């Protein structure tokens, strides 16, 4: 899964950036929901999907950001 060699910024870095932003936003909302107890009106809201799904996206995003950051050999 090498980066796309001849481009300055790898596609995997773009993906990492997007996952990081989305993960942070969704995780932050999930934590707010958890802390305030103000759950959204959806089925299985008690499972707090925004917390764990946002966290997974954030971790994956940071991994890709670091692994494929511009300038890294």
CB of 54 to other proteins, least distance (A): 7
CB 8 within 8 A of CB 70: yes
CB of 7 to other proteins, least distance (A): 7
DSSP 9: S
Minimum CB distance to other proteins, residue 67 (Å): 14
Which structure tokens are listed for 3? Answer: 């980066």
Contact set with other proteins (CB under 8 A)? 1-2, 4-7, 9, 11, 14-15, 17-19, 21-22, 25-26, 29-30, 33, 39-40, 42-45, 47, 49-50, 53-54, 57
């Amino acid at each position: 899964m090498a980066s796309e060699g001849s481009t300055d910024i790898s596609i995997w870095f773009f993906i990492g950036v997007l996952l990081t932003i989305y993960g942070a936003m969704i995780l932050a909302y999930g934590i707010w929901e958890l802390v305030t107890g103000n759950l959204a009106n959806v089925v299985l809201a008690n499972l707090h999907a925004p917390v764990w799904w946002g966290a997974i996206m954030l971790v994956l995003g940071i991994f890709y950001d670091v692994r494929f950051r511009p300038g890294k050999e």
